[in-house]
Chain A
Amino acid sequence: MDLAQLLVTGIAQGCIYGLIALGFVLIYKATETVNFAQGDLMMVGAFIAFTFIASLGMPYWLGLAAVIVTMALAGYALDVVLLRPISGQPQFAVVILTISLGFVLRAIAGVVWGHNPVSFPTPFSGKMLAVGNAVISQENVAIIVGTLLLCGLLFVFFRYTRLGVAMQAASQNQLAAYYMGIPVKRLSSTIWAISAGVAAVAGVLMAPVALVEPQMGFLGIKAFAAAVIGGFGSLPGALLGGLIVGVGEQLAGGYLPQGFKETSAYLLMLVVLTVRPGGLFAQIQRKKV
Chain B
Amino acid sequence: MRVIFKTSYDQDIRLLKHGGYVFWYGLLLLALLLAPLLLDAFYIGELSMIFIYAIAGLGLMLLVGYTGLVSLGHAAFLAIGAYAHAYLVGHGWPFLLALPAAGLISAAAGLLIALPASRMTGIYLAIATLAFAIIVEQLVINLKSITGGFQGMAVDHPVLFGVSLTEPWQFYFVCLAVLILVLLGCANLLRAPTGRALMAIRDSEISAQSMGIPLARYKAIAFGLSAGITGLAGGLFAHKLSYLAPDAFNIILSIQLLLMVVVGGLGSLHGAIYGALFIGFLPQALAILRDYLPPGVANTPGLEAGIFGLILMLFIIFEPQGLYGRWRKVKLYFDIFPLYRKATFKRQKVFLKTERLQ
Contacts and interface: CB of A to CB of B under 8 A. Distances in A.
Contact of A269 (B128, B347, B354): B128
Contacts of A104: 306, 309-310, 313
A95 B312 contact: no
B45 interface: no
Interface residues of A, number: 61
Contacts of B312: 96-97, 99-100, 103
A24 to B, nearest CB: 10
A91 interface: yes
A274 to B, nearest CB: 4
Interface in A259-289: 259, 262-263, 265-267, 269-270, 273-274, 277-278, 283-287, 289
Nearest to B255: A99
B107 to A, nearest CB: 19
B134 A266 contact: yes
Nearest to B125: A273
A177 B206 CA distance: 25
Contacts of A289: 206, 210
A92 B350 CA distance: 13
A95 B126 contact: yes
A102 interface: yes
A31 B353 CA distance: 10
Q: Is the interface of A mostly helix, strand, loop or mixed?
A: helix
Contact of B355 (A92, A225, A287): A287
Contacts of A286: 355
B16 to A, nearest CB: 32
B35 interface: no
B309 A107 contact: yes
A287 B127 CA distance: 21
Contact of A34 (B123, B138, B351): B123
Contacts of A233: 356
A126 interface: no
B142 interface: yes
Interface in B37-79: 64, 68, 70, 72
A269 B131 contact: yes
Interface of A: 31-32, 34, 82, 85-93, 95-97, 99-104, 106-108, 110-111, 114-115, 168, 171-175, 214, 221, 224-225, 228, 232-233, 258-259, 262-263, 265-267, 269-270, 273-274, 277-278, 283-287, 289
Interface of B: 64, 68, 70, 72, 115-116, 119-124, 126-128, 130-132, 134-135, 138-139, 141-142, 206, 210, 255, 258-259, 262, 296-297, 300-303, 305-313, 316-317, 320, 347, 349-358
25 contacts: A82-B313, A96-B262, A97-B312, A99-B309, A100-B312, A103-B309, A104-B310, A107-B305, A107-B306, A108-B306, A110-B306, A111-B303, A114-B300, A172-B353, A172-B356, A173-B351, A224-B130, A228-B124, A258-B142, A262-B134, A263-B138, A266-B135, A270-B131, A274-B116, A289-B206
